[in-house]
Structure 1
């Protein structure tokens, strides 16, 4: 079994258009959730979100590319460029032939879908642009990343709702660990903040109108976000041989299925994934210092996740830090685990634990240390990143300081 390390990372999200600005916002406990600026927002009852602000596609892509790239693909490419640049890898020859890309998304080209439904059903047009299908398909971002960076190995997209990017990164990890690939570009992206995307989520009645307050007794629902985060996972000896800077080591991964309910989470399913990731890493629960929680801000998720963590960690749960950065950047659905992995890397490299902001009132059913409101300096050696999706599909990653 080969060791797997992270040698590059990139992002664009509501907190920043790159990794340094995002981590600065996390350290400051800054909130990227604000009033939505989208078409027909006045017809929505939910009017807030973690929207990417100050972004102009024309600053990064030409007219032909914009015609072919949905917003979620644009975000992915921008994050991938940052990650590959930081890694210092150039994909050519055998490295290109064996390396690939695995990305997560839930909705894919939702903005393209929304625009073209309007065109056909509202405006009565009988034709759409010939690039609509290749623009909205879920694998569009992965395909364009593979083309831009000459990645000719295993490449595909994972769609498991809110666990998509954790599942994707888990597959990339497994491929490198098994020797199938020397390096993989992996992560996730989502851009559902359009009229149809928000309207669909309104129907679930799990959305907050005023903010995301995970683990706080006065929480009242989740808040959507958008953006992408992309990483370069690389075989350790390959990275060491070329003198690459290593950001962290990926040491474990586990998946589970609740096999219970399409929307309600299961404590047992979450606990199996958490325990499985620790076991896969060859570690014990007391080795873990921090968990980036799924932490959506809904009562069902928060209470279930806290109960699952308490079950797995037992007496050690009282010494564990767990926080939800969704309170700052919103819930990026299929891209959320990737953005949250940035906070995990920051915890290992910089000794800074990102806070759970908007924490107002203790919840007697969520008594863990949720790092309320202010970032904390702490030395941790091992961290976990949780993702628990609708459909009962769970994915947990374990990272170690190196």
Structure 2
């Protein structure tokens, strides 16, 4: 089978630092943080130990029609906003519906719908449970919302691989385009899990930062004082298509998607393999599958959640992959600004990687005051120019269950 060039022709996002892909990128470069104190009554009512998160900068209710917010779980709302923006950004291509697909992702699914319905059932009885509850809570709800809104009939698939989900959806989209299942695919992911139960659960496992008094500096990858991740929400979408199809319709091209790889640790349900061997295999395979050398990689968007254990495990995986050359590769840890979007993280970070290549500008990592000496990476702290010529970058995502996914992009 001949290898086709796959390109990115549209991007869309709603994130803790912007209501669009463009504003998210602009505010990332400006060093903004999306983490704020939660004002909801349930924080005090339930005595939650963590009182902040990185909420979507622009509420979905300000973008969607009222009927859409009533019939879609918040995770699907974010998906629809991001997908519509990406589709418009790509020029709303005139494509045969049977040649247009969706590869989407979520880590948790419709947690708001599920738990609200459970409260309704217990407090008001079965007759008051909404008939749309199951379609709203099912993990494939976001993919279905996109597929129906945009008329995609080549398949609407959903990946659920914890925090690696979105990146895995992009890997799948690449494979599906290579296999000829479609000419255009919208890929990405969304998550809306800033809910009391996930907050309480993540807090119980000591995964969240406890900086209630200073949310904006709580997400601090690689810092010696990092104490956990900041829960985020949002959605991000990329329009991917074969270069032949894109050129035939005169589309603008942001970057080339070279492919990716997926591996698994087989180690622990929540902790990463401390040696990072499977994560390293994913990085090595992502670059090798694209036909490039690891020496060609000139930028990394790291998973870098700001957890004490996770950041070191990723560093070991990076060191295993790149050897001593690692310390000359500029690394951006953008969760410092956005928080951790769980199943949506890989999508927004793929967009940041694409924009870094498009603008030849590596984005900054904020809140790094005292870098952990055990992680001597070349961390980008201010926007940094990337070199001229072909530049290859990778974006890493690792999730509970030992899921590893890596995608590789190149300047167009």
Whole-Å separation in 2 of the counterparts to 1:379 and 1:27: 18
Task: Give the one of 67, 72, 90 matched to 2:70.
Answer: 67
CA 1:361/1:338 → structure 2, altered by over 3 Å: closer, same or farther? same
The residue correspondences of 1:281-360 to structure 2 (distance < 5 A) are 281-360=290-369
The alpha carbon displacement at 1:91 in A equals 4.9
Helix, strand or coil at the partner of 1:40: helix
CA distance in 2, matches of 1:223, 1:21: 21
1:166-181 equivalences in 2 (<5 Å): 166-181=167-182
When the two chains are superposed, the root-mean-square deviation of aligned CA atoms in Å is: 1.4
2:214 aligns with: none
Residue number among 353, 374, 385 corresponding to 1:377 in the alignment = 385
Match in the other structure for 2:89: 86
* Deviation of 1:131 (Å): 0.6
Q: In the aligned structure 2, how far is the partner of 1:118 from the partner of 1:107?
A: 19
Structure 1 position 47, deviation (Å): 1.1
Looking at structure 2, the residues matched to 252 and 59 of structure 1 have their Cα atoms a distance apart, in angstroms, of 32
Moved more, 177-186 or 327-336: 177-186
Once residues 238 and 179 of structure 2 are traced to their aligned partners in structure 1, the CA distance between those partners, rounded to angstroms, is 19
Distance in 2 (CA, whole Å) between partners of 1:305 and 1:340 is 16
Could you tell me which runs of 5 or more consecutive residues in structure 1 were left unpaired when the two chains were aligned: none
Secondary structure of the residue that 1:26 maps to in structure 2?
helix
Instruction: Provide the residue aligned with 2:372 in structure 1.
Output: 363
Q: Is contact 1:188-1:335 (8 Å) kept?
A: yes
| In 2: Cα distance, 1:395 partner to 1:356 partner | 21
State the match for 1:2 in structure 2: 4
Task: Tell me the residue number matched to 1:152.
Answer: 153
Q: Determine if the alignment matches structure 1 residue 393 to structure 2 residue 403.
A: yes
- TM-score, normalising length from structure 1? 0.96
Distance in 1 (CA, whole Å) between partners of 2:333 and 2:39 is: 25
Q: Deviations over 1:20-78 (max 9, x none)?
A: 11011111111111112334112211111110134251642133x22211111111111
Please tell me whether the aligned partners of residues 154 and 181 of structure 2 are also in contact (alpha carbons under 8 angstroms).
no
Partner of 2:271: 264
Q: Deviations over 1:222-278 (max 9, x none)?
A: 111000001110000110111100011000211111111111112101111111111
Count of residues paired in the alignment:
397
Distance 1:358 1:198 in 2: 22
Partners of 2:190 and 2:327 in 1: CA distance: 34
Query: Secondary structure of 1:245's match?
Result: coil
**Who is 2:111 aligned against?**
110
C-alpha separation between the residues in 2 aligned to 1:38 and 1:228?
A: 22
2: distance between equivalents of 1:39 and 1:78? Answer: 27
Report what 2:253 is aligned to: 246
SS in 1 for 2:175: helix
Q: Matched residue of 2:256: which SS?
A: strand
Whole-angstrom CA distance in 2 between matches of 1:96 and 1:365: 51
What are the Cα deviations for residues 128-175 of structure 1, in whole angstroms up to 9, with x where unaligned? 111110011100110111111110012111000000001111100111
The CA distance in 2 between the partners of 1:213 and 1:308, in whole Å, is: 20
Return 5+ residue gaps in structure 2 as ranges.
212-217
Matched, 1:11 2:18: no
Task: Give distance in 2, aligned partners of 1:48 and 1:62.
Answer: 27
For the residues of structure 1 that align with 2:154 and 2:60, how far apart are their CA atoms?
A: 32
* C-alpha displacement of 1:378: 2.3
Contact 2:192/2:233 (<8 A) preserved: yes
Q: Is the CA contact (8 Å cut-off) linking 1:2 and 1:178 kept in structure 2?
A: no
Are the counterparts in 2 of residues 96 and 153 from structure 1 also a CA contact under 8 Å?
A: yes
Of the candidates 39, 61, 74, which is equivalent to residue 37 of structure 1?
Answer: 39
Deviations, residues 328-362 of structure 1 (Å, cap 9, x unaligned): 01100000000111210121011111111110112
Partner of 2:135: 134
